[in-house]
Amino acid sequence: MRILYVLFFLLTLNSCQKVKEKEVVRLMKEWNRKEVLFPDDLLFTVLEKDTLKEIPKSDYTIITYVDSIGCTSCKLKLQNWLLLERKLRSITNKRVSCLFVIHPKSKKEVNYILQENHFDCPVCIDDSDIFNKLNKFPANIMYQTFLLDAGNKVVAIGNPIHNDRIKKLYLDIISGNKMTSKKGSMQTEITVSETLFDFGKISFKESQKCIFTLQNTGKALLVIDDVNTSCGCTSVQYSKEPVKPGESLRITVIYKADHPEHFRKTITIYCNVPTSPLQLKITGNAE
């Protein structure tokens, strides 16, 4: 249980969100050292050209399941995965495989996304969702990625692309680094101008901006460790400098729709406050 308890610490560090804690504890108990099963007829291909005759035998495997709900491109963030795979090759001589099983809403859309990103990791298009039905993965996309050992048993759970703390955990485990957690930095308090911004009706052809303001109302410096967005169509701009007590930080959120849609996007902020991570949301109708 040691590795998954470290993950639990990382996920709940500086957080009073009891619901999240209970969810992670439950998932740890359920998935610790559990074997992920691969159906015999699950076929992996690389860019729809090379079909793998068998699943690669590796010291570690990162397996990601992607369901058919929501924006597939936003969930995958394929360029980030390619960067992670390169980093893995550079820090260890161990064999590490990154595998993706996608239950698509539109197979044509998924193939387009893979080709557009020149994504050369093995991918299985699972039309019948047999992989998920066999293993019964968690519904939350943050827990549909697993780090497996050579026997396909779970040693860590969580999406390293959507959470830098999980990424560091995966890298530490794979590279064999001794996992140590630094002592928590001095905490502060903040007030947020608003946590939800509604753009209303907008043109999908034009970029939209809004600003969230975080005021440091505590006695220590406010330090932003990381900011993640739930979608590639959303980006953020903010100062990386620590914020002094009594001063404010402006976080500019830029949204550019790829096509007409009703959208609801999340911006997750990791910082040294008891309620970290913070979540901001934008919503609206791009027409």
Q: Does residue 199 or residue 166 have the better pLDDT?
A: 199
Residue 124 has pLDDT above 60, yes or no: yes
Q: Which residue has the tokens 């009073």?
A: 16
Domains defined for the chain, CATH in brackets:
13-175 (3.40.30.10), 190-286 (2.60.40.10)
- The model carries a pTM of 0.60
Q: What is the pLDDT of residue 214?
A: 95
Interhelix angle 18-31/2-12, nearest 10 degrees = 160
Average pLDDT in the chain: 83
Do 232 and 261 form a contact (C-beta atoms < 8 A)?
A: no
pLDDT in tens, 85-123: 888 887 777 889 999 999 988 888 888 888 888 888 899
Rounded Cα gap, residues 137 and 101, in angstroms: 12
Higher local confidence (pLDDT), 67 or 48: 67
13: helix, strand or coil: coil
In the structure, how many helices (H) and strands (E) does the chain have? 7, 15
d(CA 285, CA 194): 19
DSSP class per residue in 260-278: SEEEEEEEEEEESSTTPSE
Q: Determine the average pLDDT of the residues in 236-251.
A: 91
Q: What digits encode the pLDDT tens for the residues 66-77?
A: 988 777 777 788
Q: What is the three-class DSSP state of 2?
A: helix
Q: Taking 80 as the threshold, does the pLDDT of residue 23 lie above it? A: no
At 181 the pLDDT is 37
Among 59-63, 154-158, 237-241, name the most confident range. 59-63
Which candidate, 71, 141, 133, 72, places its Cα nearest to that of 102?
72
**Average pLDDT of the segment spanning 132-154:** 91
Is the pLDDT assigned to residue 259 strictly greater than 60?
yes
Q: Does 184 have pLDDT greater than 60?
A: no
Looking at per-residue confidence, does 179 or 128 come out higher? 128
d(CA 58, CA 19): 35
Question: For residues 192 and 27, what is the distance between their CA atoms, to the nearest angstrom?
Answer: 31
